Structure 1
Amino acid sequence: MKNKNIISIIVMVFTLLFVHTGCEDTFEPAIENHKSHSDLYNMPAWATGLLGHAYISNPLGSWSFNDVATDDAVSNDPNNGYRLMATGSWTASSNPMGEWQYLRASWQYLNQFIDVADEVDWADDQLVADMFKDRMKGDAFGMRALYMYHLLLNHAGWANGQLLGIPIVTEPEDLNSDFNIPRNTFQECIDQLNADVDSAIFLLPENYGAVGSDNQVPEKYRALGVTSGQYTRVFGDNAKNRMNAQIAKAVRAQAALLAASPAYSDGSDVTWEEAANLMAEALSGLGGNPIAEIDPDGNQWYASGEAIEQLPAGENPKEILWRGNKEESVTLEQQHYPPTLFGNGRLNPTQNLVDAFPMANGLPITNPNSGYDPNNPYANRDPRLSMYIIYNGSTAGPGNTEIITAADGEDNNALNKDVTSTRTGYYMKKLLNQDVNADPNSETPSYHYKPFIRYTEIFLGYAEAANEAWGPTGTGPNSYSAYDVIKAIRQRAGIGVNSTDEYLESASSNKDLMRELIHNERRLELCFEGFRFWDLRRWKKDITEPAKGMQIVGGEFNILPEVEQRAYQDYMYYGPIPNSEVVKFDNLLQNEGW
């Protein structure tokens, strides 16, 4: 999937609207492909190729399924990097989470582009050229902020009593540059991220799209005499789903939530209040009352291939702030369907995660009043359980095939029956289109896309920060509280729709209980999307809990307490700097423990 995305991006880069005559774009590659700085001034398509590297290297561009490194999932692939990492092989020389070289190399392309952008002859029409300059530079600043956020996720950590980030380099480097420079502090990196977001917001529109009249042109351009046609040429539909001001605001909010979290707050001056307000700013694009705009189908955005296929180019459903290209494929299903549906069953949800889903009445299964029956454990549960996870007796696939995961099951769906069988008694259902036929002799593909940022993530980020800043029902300067967000999300899931949500109400006056509820809702809503690994670490929660499973024999249910151990050490709340970099550059401090 990632390779297809890269090809799509490369095609996009070299078909952008950067020409000097009319509306038709042409691109004639020079005989010599090595360009000097000045060569790019009259070759806007080549200059834009530098920016294209930012999208090729987008850290959100493909599924990682790093849930396998947490208490939420295991893999039946013995060579899975996250499985090896979680069970003891994580080192500074072997790091499946590492982004250091890749993103910092691509960061160099962004620096080169920002340096040259003002000199590029973007169009014969000077007004259009100036707007292209704004758009392209704003795009680069926003992508550089995104890179910073992900570099901090992967590599920020403590050394010599300071919380450190990356070496901040904002100028192009060459063979004469000094590469042996120290890491900046985490806070300095957050400051740089914020500065880049400010630049992106100043230069970019909230959203892209054609305008029908000159009066719809933003004032800063209208005052210069820009017409609707000129504005649409630059900021019209052709630019949709590229970095815009709304996306940049969301990146800043994500970074603020990270910085305010327990693992980073001692090395940051970002407060929970600031994080909450930045999350609210990111949600403001939904309208005056964001709670009313929560997508009623936002927890199953992936389910309908037909709906995805019918999305106009560049358009997003209500749940999605930013996404990758839609494509028709069977790849996810081939990887993750149970064996009898011609899948490899690669990601196996744990009993730990299954137990995190409450009952349909909203009470945790550990609550004596919940009605949970350990001898009938999947009855009357949160509807999201059956939407996201295949358990014994679930149906899946285009024929609604019953899947038997019991250890005494007769086919390869059974627990540990074969190399493609589940190790936990569960298979992943979320993200998969159940209309797909993965049979290699009669494949029926369907449309998918990779979401880069979902609004549900931002809502949950707001709830987390707002609860810490103002308590469960406090709103600060905003019009909604953590309680309001969690109520809306749980009602969307089917909890508390026809009756009072007793558990939520009990948390409405208890910050600690609300915190645990928010953490759990985040775990459920965002499962298998690559959040759990980072959340456990920034919360400084237990990262060593063994992965559990369910063994069913003769209709009896027995918990498997240690399907897979977790071999993390305390210093592993922060990832390493690559050992190869530390060896080369003595000014580059390694994070403690690595």
Structure 2
Amino acid sequence: MKNLIKLTALVLLVTACDDVLSPATENIRGLDAMYKEPGYAQGILANAYILLPYSASPTTDVATDDAVSNNIDNAFLRMASGSWSANDDPTSQWQGRKNAIQYLNLFLANADQVAWSNDKTIRMLFNDRLKGEAYGLRALQMYHLLVAHGGWTQDGQLLGVPIVNEPETPTSNFNKPRNTFQECIDQILSDAEQALELLPLDYKKFSQSDIPERYKSIEGITATQYERVNGEHMRGRISGRIVEAIRAQAALLAASPAYRAGTNITWAAAANYAAQVLNRIGGVSGLASNGGTWYTKDSGIEQLASGQTPSEILWRSDVAQSLDLERDNYPPSLFGNGRVNPSQNLVDAFPMANGYPITHASSGYNLNSPYNNRDPRLAKYIVVNESQQGPGTDVIVTGTYGTNNDAINREKGFSTRTGYYLRKLLRSDVNPNPAFNTTQKHYTARIRYTEIFLAYAEAANEAWGPTGTGPNSYAAYDVIRAIRQRAGITGGDAYLESVKNDQEQMRQLIRNERRLELCFENHRFRDIRRWQVGISQLNETARGVEISKSGNTLNYAPVNVETRNYQPHMYHGPIPYGEINKWSLLQQNAGW
């Protein structure tokens, strides 16, 4: 009887569903659906925004001389300690950037056929702007591919990645050789130029006189029409101003010591690309007064309208309520995990308040009170022993005499390993205490004007010397003076004045200012490699300090915390091992 019931049920099931043994029709729409559905078309472009290569956390800094992580499973800790390989590469951008470029190529190949509007003029304006976004985003994605994977091969070629400007299909030839680094730079510059022709400089309110020249010849086009497509409601998308900054970043990379022998980008060109961005804000006079603390409550973050940027920020992510950074990096007593521990190396890089390096005879540095009279940025960016952090008046004791897990090496995986905790990027009004879980507004600064100022200073110093201006109205010296004045350097900055006629000393000062201003923003790892510093500097041991107490006297003992194990070929990252195995025409960078 049981077998009869089973058989009957099976017969009914098979006969009732005549396609039960055939695959069901999948709910996958073809690309041609985008032609009549602009929302679908924009969704393809949106994927390239979703795949933007920016991080809110200081991930790569712990692989440099600036910091360590107290998480022994951290991928960058392992990398810096000797495990970096072509099949274990936490810096890889290969898949994410190539995925984004595929979406962008799909969009560009089909955008002209999309019915963006029934109005002919509006349709043209939408098509132009969105294609401009795609070109700009493709330049950005290629730039980050070059940062991670461009390099010299065993036979002495400086190569980039395969350039792909058409959407790939299952029948495409994927076995392509890498283009030269120069060809990839040329592609970035070409995409940037096309983007600049199509994009507004900024998304804003427009008057009739603001309409770009290329549209003024079109009879009847109005500011209202142009603003409908390019108005303030589009803020946050890539704009002409942002594309100019990406072009400046790419030019600086190409002109840098690790690449310049294989490109035709000069220091002068890199400086002028940066100057084009800076001149739009008045040059050195446009340096934001609170730009060094753009992430704090008093920076204006609370008042930002949708897509609006403060004067320091050229491009940012959306603002979001969170406490993730604070939970990760506050000391244990404040319910944090203390993840990123600034190094003594970085602490020592901050000068005195008078501008002199702590090693200089005129600095006034005192080994027995090492945090007194220092550059104010030190206290703003790093939690030192017996300083305050968090929403209350909590004093953080990192010395060995501390009574809780804030003390150095007190509890593995939570306590600091260096004697310091992170302050930069964190808001003091966040409270990760589970009883409160107080969140506050945060955003990722994708590109800051200070970065472009420092790019200009670096390139201008190399091109024209510390006080040379080239075709511009300001020199590297002027930029560094303004940045250090903003930081709070006092006494007329006698040290800067003493080096302003020495290109090598100015080079070292510019590099140090870049280190301080951009610390914990994922620049240091790429900077020290594109500068091709000596291998001993690349492998500089991350140091800390153990502070003990005898009566009322504090004793400071330097300690080695973490050794680095980089090899000479690691100035350039690898092509992923799996890609080399799949495609015979892909050449690996030397040493990998």
Match of 1:22 in 2: none
Q: Please say if residues 345 and 422 of structure 1, whose CA atoms lie closer than 8 Å, have aligned partners that are also in contact.
A: yes
Query: Structure 1: which amino acid aligns with 2:37?
Result: M
Match of 2:93 in 1: 99
Is 1:510 matched up with 2:502? yes
Is 1:209 matched up with 2:204? yes
How far apart, CA to CA, are the structure 2 residues paired with 1:67 and 1:306? Answer: 24
Equivalent residue for 1:363, pick from 345, 356, 359? 356
How far apart, CA to CA, are the structure 2 residues paired with 1:197 and 1:489? Answer: 29
Is 1:458 matched up with 2:456? no
Q: Please say if residues 309 and 326 of structure 1, whose CA atoms lie closer than 8 Å, have aligned partners that are also in contact.
A: no
Match of 1:27 in 2: none
Query: Structure 1: which amino acid aligns with 2:52?
Result: N
How far apart, CA to CA, are the structure 2 residues paired with 1:70 and 1:277? Answer: 30
Distance apart, 1:561 and its partner CA: 4.0
Match of 2:327 in 1: 334
Any gaps of 5 or more consecutive residues in structure 2?
Answer: 1-24
Is 1:275 matched up with 2:270? yes
Query: Structure 2: which amino acid aligns with 1:169?
Result: V
Distance apart, 1:32 and its partner CA: 6.6
Equivalent residue for 1:176, pick from 168, 171, 181? 171
Is 1:577 matched up with 2:572? no
How far apart, CA to CA, are the structure 2 residues paired with 1:119 and 1:257? Answer: 37
Equivalent residue for 1:412, pick from 400, 405, 413? 405
Match of 1:40 in 2: 34
SS of the residue 1:410 aligns to:
coil
Query: Structure 1: which amino acid aligns with 2:390?
Result: G
Instruction: Describe the superposition over 1:447-488 as per-residue Cα deviations: whole angstroms up to 9, x where unpaired.
Output: 111010000000000000000000000000000000000000
Query: Structure 1: which amino acid aligns with 2:72?
Result: P
How far apart, CA to CA, are the structure 2 residues paired with 1:366 and 1:382? Answer: 14
SS of the residue 2:560 aligns to:
strand
SS of the residue 1:552 aligns to:
strand
* Residues 100 and 583 (structure 1), Cα distance of their counterparts in 2 relative to 1, 3 Å cut: same
How far apart, CA to CA, are the structure 2 residues paired with 1:410 and 1:61? Answer: 34
Equivalent residue for 2:389, pick from 396, 417, 437? 396
SS of the residue 2:538 aligns to:
coil
Report the structure number with the largest CA radius of gyration: 2
Match of 1:234 in 2: 229
SS of the residue 1:577 aligns to:
coil
Q: Please say if residues 300 and 310 of structure 2, whose CA atoms lie closer than 8 Å, have aligned partners that are also in contact.
A: no
Distance apart, 1:369 and its partner CA: 1.5
Distance apart, 1:153 and its partner CA: 0.4
Match of 1:298 in 2: 291
Distance apart, 1:408 and its partner CA: 1.9
Q: Name the stretch that deviates more: 37-46 or 314-323.
A: 37-46
Q: What is the aligned length? A: 559
Q: Name the stretch that deviates more: 393-402 or 422-431.
A: 393-402
SS of the residue 1:432 aligns to:
coil
Distance apart, 1:305 and its partner CA: 6.9
How far apart, CA to CA, are the structure 1 residues paired with 2:299 and 2:92? Answer: 36
Match of 1:444 in 2: 438
Query: Structure 2: which amino acid aligns with 1:370?
Result: S
Distance apart, 1:387 and its partner CA: 0.3
Any gaps of 5 or more consecutive residues in structure 1?
Answer: 1-30
The two structures have a TM-score, normalised by structure 2, of 0.93
How far apart, CA to CA, are the structure 1 residues paired with 2:56 and 2:395? Answer: 30
Equivalent residue for 2:315, pick from 315, 322, 328? 322
Equivalent residue for 2:52, pick from 48, 54, 58? 58
Match of 1:386 in 2: 379
The two structures have a TM-score, normalised by structure 1, of 0.92
How far apart, CA to CA, are the structure 2 residues paired with 1:39 and 1:324? Answer: 30
Instruction: Describe the superposition over 1:37-91 as per-residue Cα deviations: whole angstroms up to 9, x where unpaired.
Output: 3222111111111111111000025435210000000000011111111011111
How far apart, CA to CA, are the structure 2 residues paired with 1:381 and 1:227? Answer: 56
Q: Name the stretch that deviates more: 555-564 or 49-58.
A: 555-564
Identity across the alignment (%): 53
CA RMSD of aligned residues (A): 1.3
Query: Structure 2: which amino acid aligns with 1:475?
Result: T
Query: Structure 2: which amino acid aligns with 1:532?
Result: R
Q: Please say if residues 464 and 482 of structure 1, whose CA atoms lie closer than 8 Å, have aligned partners that are also in contact.
A: yes
How far apart, CA to CA, are the structure 1 residues paired with 2:352 and 2:388? Answer: 20
Query: Structure 1: which amino acid aligns with 2:476?
Result: A
Q: Please say if residues 545 and 557 of structure 2, whose CA atoms lie closer than 8 Å, have aligned partners that are also in contact.
A: yes
Q: Please say if residues 293 and 299 of structure 2, whose CA atoms lie closer than 8 Å, have aligned partners that are also in contact.
A: no
Match of 1:80 in 2: 74
Is 1:165 matched up with 2:157? no
Match of 1:494 in 2: 488
Instruction: Describe the superposition over 1:199-258 as per-residue Cα deviations: whole angstroms up to 9, x where unpaired.
Output: 0000001001122x4343333323312122211110011211111111111101001101
Match of 1:186 in 2: 181
Match of 1:23 in 2: none
Q: Please say if residues 546 and 561 of structure 1, whose CA atoms lie closer than 8 Å, have aligned partners that are also in contact.
A: no
Query: Structure 1: which amino acid aligns with 2:527?
Result: D
Q: Which runs of 4+ in 1 moved over 3 A?
A: 213-216, 555-561
